[in-house]
Amino acid sequence: MRRGTLYDMSQTEPREEQQPRERRPRSEIPPERRAAALAQVRTLGDPVLRESARPVETFDSELTALSRRMIAVMRDAPGIGLAATQLGVVKRMIVYQVDDDPVTLVNPRIVGDSDDTEVLDEGCLSLPGVTVPVERPTLVRVRARDLRGRRLEYDAEDLEARVIQHEIDHLDGVLILERTSREERGRVLRELRERQTAAVPSGSGL
């Protein structure tokens, strides 16, 4: 097992729409676009994040439109991965972008992984401002379908493997709080409670 440095899925810079493209600095994303993207992402406490997503059976224009929406939200948030359930859509679909082009996986599942694991700090758009150490295999074999329903199977390593595992967890109703230690989970929950209390003005009656 290896221990790595900070990795935050919610803060990695997004990429542009077409190839070839360079990374777009986070500072270049207009604040209103970022706010609009984040407003669509469900956060801790929303029951949909604990639901198990349903398999996709129909591959049509609506599914393609959902993929485009997810990619746009992921980039503007910004992040490098997003699951449909994070937008309140209970379908087994994820998007991610660790290289030049975004990838959409429909009905993804992990059918094999490596013995070699690594601990890295992960963040999540559904847990803004939070990072926790998570141990995951450094290589996974993924089986899925594309937007046309064609079968996909490939090996993903390192960052790509981690993002895929993180997003598939979302489809199963699992958050990074369940993938870390009890101490880290307690720390994060205390921080979130303190942040929420500080945000409520005294005498508000809320």
pLDDT of residue 203: 53
DSSP state of 148: T
- Other Cβ atoms less than 10 A from the Cβ of 143: the count is 15
| Residue 17 contacts residue 84 (beta carbons within 8 Å) | no
pLDDT number for residue 196:
79
Output DSSP code: residue 54.
Answer: B
How far apart, in whole angstroms, are the C-alpha atoms of residue 193 and residue 93? 31
Q: Is the CATH number of domain 2-197 3.90.45.10?
A: yes
The proportion of the chain whose per-residue pLDDT surpasses 90, expressed as a percent, equals: 76
The pLDDT value given to residue 1: 59
Given a cut of 50, the residues of the chain with pLDDT beneath it are 4-8, 11-23, 204-206
Q: What is the pLDDT of residues 113-147, one digit of tens each?
A: 999 999 999 999 999 989 999 999 999 999 999 99
Q: Please report, for the chain, the start and end positions of each structural domain, with discontinuous segments joined by +.
A: 2-197
* Amino acid 6: pLDDT: 33
CA distance 73 to 77: 6
Per-residue pLDDT at 180: 96
Instruction: Give the pLDDT of residue 10.
Output: 58
Rounded Cα gap, residues 9 and 74, in angstroms = 10
Which residues, at least 6 apart from 82, have a Cβ–Cβ distance to it below 8 Å? 41, 70, 71, 73, 74, 94, 95, 96, 125, 167
Q: Please tell me the distance from the alpha carbon of residue 186 to that of residue 181, in angstroms, as a whole number.
A: 9
* Whole-number pLDDT of residue 65: 98
Q: Give the separation between CA 122 and CA 105, rounded to whole angstroms.
A: 21
Give the three-class secondary structure for 120: strand
User: Which residues, at least 6 apart from 50, have a Cβ–Cβ distance to it below 8 Å?
Assistant: 173
Instruction: Encode burial over 8-45: b for 16+ CB neighbours within 10 A, e otherwise.
Output: bbbbbebbeeeeeeeeeeeeebeeeeeeebbebbbebe
Known catalytic residues are 167
- Between CA 163 and CA 160 the distance in angstroms is 5
Distance CA 177, CA 190 (A): 12
Residue with tokens 């948030």: 77
